[in-house]
């Protein structure tokens, strides 16, 4: 598998971009790390890179699809994407996973995106919700949710995911309870193990959908996540391996370019969470 060197992001403040290694991944995967000392600069560059990718997709295929992570890390990215002058009505936005709560619940990932883009150009992007208020449990909604996301262009133009320090991606948490489920397109994740966001059940795109992408991006911050991911990438992914390792292996096997965007957890002096 060729490991092509990609140009580093066009960071406005090169010294904030500690390293865009671009060096051949040790295991021959098309995988590159972009390392930043300043998270705000990373989010600026990532929003610009995603915008270029989506603009090209719409130009070439008249539609595009973007999968975004939930959690706290991507919130500054949402805000930067919101104001980008893209043809948003042609760009379907999906969250990689969702907590089984109404969109207006503070824990809702779709709600967090919609709140971030309210009143901006990105508010016009079709954003199918994974939550069905009339259904008590996500496992009873899989068929309807599959119908809702069926219209999103596939392969997804970009899948952006976060990662937990336990190696979970989306709502695919490590442990025997999920090891056999994560190969399903959609996964209803039980509250156990209780995820960081609390004990609500979750629903998640599974590995087949998360790896069905023209580009896979992992967006992480902090040294602990960098260590977990570095270790996961160095190991042979086992059936019961960390979900992030299984995802990267599946994407690499499909020839999906993989980018890891990492920034220190320390906020620059100019302000946290810009």
Per CB under 6 A, residues contacting ligand 6PG are 69-73, 96-97, 109, 162-164, 168-170, 196-197
Residue with Cβ nearer ligand 6PG (139 or 200): 200
Closer residue to ligand 6PG in complex, CB, 78/88: 78
> Do residues 125 and 117 touch, judged by C-beta distance below 8 A?
yes
Q: Angle at which helices 75-82 and 109-117 pack, to 10 degrees?
A: 40
| Residue whose CB is nearest to ligand 6PG in the complex, by number | 162
The nearest distance, CB 162 to ligand 6PG, in angstroms, is 2
CB of 19 to ligand 6PG, least distance (A): 22
58 vs 218, beta carbon nearer ligand 6PG:
218
Least distance CB 173 / ligand 6PG (angstroms): 9
Contacts of 217 (CB under 8 A, 6+ apart): 46, 158, 159, 160, 161, 258, 259, 260, 261
The smaller minimum CB distance to ligand 6PG, of residues 224 and 235, is found at: 224
Q: What's the min distance (Å) between Cβ of 168 and ligand 6PG?
A: 6
Spatial CB neighbours of 120, under 8 Å, sequence gap ≥ 6: 82, 83
Q: How far is the CB of 184 from ligand 6PG (least distance, A)?
A: 17
Closer of 90 and 225 to ligand 6PG (Cβ):
225
């Amino acid at each position: 598998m060729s490991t092509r060197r990609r140009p580093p992001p066009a960071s406005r403040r090169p010294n904030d971009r500690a390293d865009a290694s671009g060096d051949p991944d040790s295991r021959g995967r098309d995988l590159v790390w972009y390392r930043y000392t300043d998270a705000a600069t990373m989010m600026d560059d990532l929003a610009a890179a995603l915008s270029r990718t989506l603009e090209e997709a719409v130009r070439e295929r008249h539609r595009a699809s973007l999968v975004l992570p939930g959690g706290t890390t991507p919130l500054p990215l949402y805000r930067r994407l919101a104001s980008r002058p893209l043809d948003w009505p042609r760009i379907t936005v999906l969250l990689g996973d969702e907590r089984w709560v109404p969109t207006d619940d503070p824990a809702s990932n779709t709600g967090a995106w919609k709140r971030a883009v309210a009143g901006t150009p990105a508010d016009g992007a079709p954003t199918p919700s994974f939550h069905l208020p009339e259904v008590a449990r996500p496992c009873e909604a899989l068929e309807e949710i599959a119908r809702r996301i069926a219209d999103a262009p596939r392969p997804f133009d970009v899948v952006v995911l976060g990662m937990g320090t336990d190696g979970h991606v989306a709502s695919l948490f490590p442990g025997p309870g999920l090891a056999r489920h994560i190969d399903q397109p959609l996964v209803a994740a039980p509250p156990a193990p209780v995820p960081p966001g609390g004990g609500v059940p979750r629903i998640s795109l599974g590995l087949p959908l998360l790896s069905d992408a023209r580009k896979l991006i992992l967006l992480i911050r902090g040294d602990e996540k960098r260590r977990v991911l570095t270790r996961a990438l160095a190991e042979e992914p086992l059936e019961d391996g960390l979900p992030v390792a299984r995802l990267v292996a599946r994407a690499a096997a499909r020839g999906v370019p993989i980018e890891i965007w990492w920034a220190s957890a320390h906020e620059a002096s100019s302000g946290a969470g810009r």
